[in-house]
């Protein structure tokens, strides 16, 4: 029974699926210069599918995720754009609140980058592919790790500024978002070592234990990669940096569905798997320690920790008052299988046999992995207007 329970627990660390989309131009920038909020004139964003606005699809990604290359992704905004949701993401709502145009993806070479660039790529990792490969961890989605994104940023700055002084002046009025990133590193480790159908139970348990050990070993390396990237950006002149933590993995419908744990003692009072949330919190604790060190090194900069974990849990606890249907808090709006989670990892949103809920705005989860537009809007409010990004990276006018 212990082995069976362990196997169910470890299976939860599956590959976070990305999503593709049909590229469409972002919303046009206002004809007049955007208003300035707290002196922010541009946003530079790094990360994965939580904030990718179209880079992944421009890389020419292929594979099983192609079936999410159109509707219903983007259905709330008129069509798929490469965003892994029914509509806009947190980064979009933040840009809107700052009075800036939506961030165009870096790989959209015809875009206007006057007010920022989005370097995030769905499936991206904090560690580079070579480092992960040395541990036997491979991925099929993208090679655009955080290091690759950082180099693209440097190339962009080199091509748009004439000197380091001009670059520092530009960054002094910019908001720099370093993540969310890192979750895919752990998930790829477990995906590499997931159970094999034709092997014995004992072999598979050993295989999964290897994945567990690899993921645990990765945590300090992933955190170091994130904080090192932030340090480089601060050295280049960034004065306001946001570094998000990990989501509560034990609350995510895809993981809950895969584990399907029957022991009530495995869940906390919010209905989330305790073990998975502890793993996510281990990452978050180490990350916050790294952020505190950065603050000591750069006392004149604002380096904010964005608490994605707490924001998500708050949505669960206050679902009804935040406009969600509490009975659907753990269900994917778009998916297959019905039941408590409506998630079938072999039939992701957009695949044959999947359905879409009538009111996505009442659901936290869009496809079992990513959130709905409404969830991302609430998250942005909690983080940047209600204090869960601390210290506040932007001082918004009181409403």
State the pLDDT at residue 16.
Answer: 38
* Residue tagged active-site, from 141, 365, 367, 375: 367
The pLDDT value given to residue 161: 96
The yes-or-no verdict on residue 184 having pLDDT over 90 is: no
Report residue 224: phi and psi, to 5°: -65, -35
**Could you tell me whether strands 42-46 and 174-178 are parallel, antiparallel, or unpaired per DSSP bridges?**
parallel
Where residue 54 falls (left for φ over 0; alpha for ψ -120 to 50; beta otherwise) is left
What is the spatial distance between Cα 106 and Cα 104, in angstroms, rounded to a whole number?
6
Active site residue 367: yes
Q: Identify the structural domains of the chain with CATH numbers, from first to last.
A: 2-318 (3.40.50.1110)
Distance from C-alpha of 284 to C-alpha of 281, rounded to nearest angstrom: 5
- Whole-angstrom Cα distance, residue 73 to residue 21? 7
Tokens representing residue 348 in the block: 């992701």
| pLDDT surpasses 70 at 18 | no
Residues in the chain: 399
Question: Is pLDDT larger for residue 182 or for residue 204?
Answer: 182
For residues 142 and 157, give the distance between their C-alpha atoms in angstroms, rounded to a whole number: 23
Contact of 207 with 196, CB cutoff 8 Å: yes
pLDDT score of 84 more than 60: yes
User: What is the pLDDT confidence band of residue 141, given thresholds at 50, 70 and 90?
Assistant: confident
Secondary structure element (H or E) that encloses residue 240, with its range: strand 240-244
Q: Is the dihedral of CA 43, 48, 53, 54 positive or negative?
A: positive
Catalytic residue selected from 115, 141, 283, 370: 370
Asked if pLDDT for residue 12 goes beyond 70, the answer is: no
DSSP string of 292-346, one letter each residue: HHHHHH-TTSEEEEE-HHHHHHHHHHTTGGGT--GGGTT-BSEESS-TTT---TT
- Band (191; pLDDT cuts 50, 70, 90): low
69 Cβ partners below 8 Å, 6+ apart?
20, 21, 22, 57, 80, 350
pLDDT at 36: 80
Average pLDDT for 144-172: 97
Going 92 to 98 to 101 to 104, the CA torsion angle's sign is negative
pLDDT at 98 over 80: yes
Is 90 exceeded by the pLDDT of residue 95? yes
The question of whether 49 is a catalytic residue gets the answer: yes
Nearest to 105 by CA among 179, 187, 25: 25
Choice between 10 and 346, residue whose per-residue pLDDT is larger: 346
Cα 392 to Cα 80, 171, 282, 324, 386: the distances in Å are 32, 17, 23, 26, 9
Mean pLDDT, range 361-383, rounded to an integer: 97
Read off the pLDDT of residues 278-303 as tens digits, 9 standing for 90 and up: 989 999 999 999 999 999 999 999 99
Q: Order of strands, edge to edge, in the sheet holding 240-244? A: 116-118, 42-46, 174-178, 240-244, 302-306, 389-390
**234 contacts: CB under 8 Å, gap ≥ 6:** 241, 294, 297, 298, 301, 303
| Both tokens assigned to 336 | 């297959």
Asked whether residue 192 carries a pLDDT value surpassing 80, the answer given is no
Angstrom distance (rounded) from CA 3 to CA 5: 5
pLDDT score of 177:
98
Least confident of 115-124, 340-349, 356-365, 378-387: 340-349
Point out the catalytic residue in the list 49, 144, 225, 328. 49
Cα separation, 51 vs 83, whole angstroms = 7
The pLDDT of residue 137? 80
Give percent of the chain above pLDDT 90: 67
Q: What is the pLDDT of residue 7?
A: 36
């Amino acid at each position: 029974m212990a082995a069976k329970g362990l196997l169910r627990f470890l299976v939860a660390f599956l590959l976070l699926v990305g999503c593709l989309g049909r590229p469409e131009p972002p919303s046009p920038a206002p004809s007049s210069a955007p208003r300035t909020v707290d002196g922010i004139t541009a946003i530079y964003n790094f990360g994965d599918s939580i904030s990718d606005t179209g880079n992944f699809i421009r890389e020419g990604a292929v594979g099983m995720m192609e079936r999410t290359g159109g509707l219903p992704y983007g259905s709330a905004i008129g069509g798929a754009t490469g965003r892994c949701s029914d509509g806009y993401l947190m980064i979009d709502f933040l840009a809107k609140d700052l009075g800036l145009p939506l961030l165009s993806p870096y790989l959209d070479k015809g875009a206007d980058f006057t007010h920022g660039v989005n370097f995030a790529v769905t499936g991206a990792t904090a560690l580079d592919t070579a480092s992960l490969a040395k541990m036997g961890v491979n991925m099929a989605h993208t090679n655009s790790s955080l290091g690759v994104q950082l180099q693209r940023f440097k190339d962009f700055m080199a091509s748009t500024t004439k000197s380091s002084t001009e670059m520092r002046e530009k960054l002094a009025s910019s908001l720099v978002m370093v993540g969310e990133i890192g979750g895919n590193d752990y998930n790829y480790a477990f995906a590499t070592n997931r159970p094999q159908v034709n092997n014995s139970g004992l072999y598979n348990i050993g295989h999964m234990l290897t994945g567990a050990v690899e993921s645990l070993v990765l945590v300090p390396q992933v955190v170091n990669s994130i904080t090192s990237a932030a340090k480089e950006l601060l050295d280049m002149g960034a004065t306001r940096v946001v570094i998000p933590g990990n989501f509560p993995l034990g609350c995510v419908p895809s993981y809950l569905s895969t584990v399907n744990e029957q022991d009530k003692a495995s869940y906390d009072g919010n209905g989330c798997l305790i073990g998975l949330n502890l793993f996510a919190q281990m990452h978050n604790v180490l990350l916050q320690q790294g952020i505190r060190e950065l603050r000591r090194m750069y006392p004149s900069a604002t380096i904010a920790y964005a608490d994605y974990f707490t924001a998500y849990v708050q949505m669960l606890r206050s679902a009804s008052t935040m406009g969600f249907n509490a009975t659907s808090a753990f269900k994917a709006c778009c998916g297959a299988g019905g039941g408590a989670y409506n998630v079938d990892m072999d039939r992701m949103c957009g695949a044959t046999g999947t359905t879409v809920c009538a009111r996505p705005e009442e659901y936290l989860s869009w496809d079992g992995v990513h959130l709905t537009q409404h969830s991302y809007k609430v998250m942005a409010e909690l983080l940047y207007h209600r204090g869960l990004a601390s210290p506040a990276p932007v001082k918004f006018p009181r409403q």
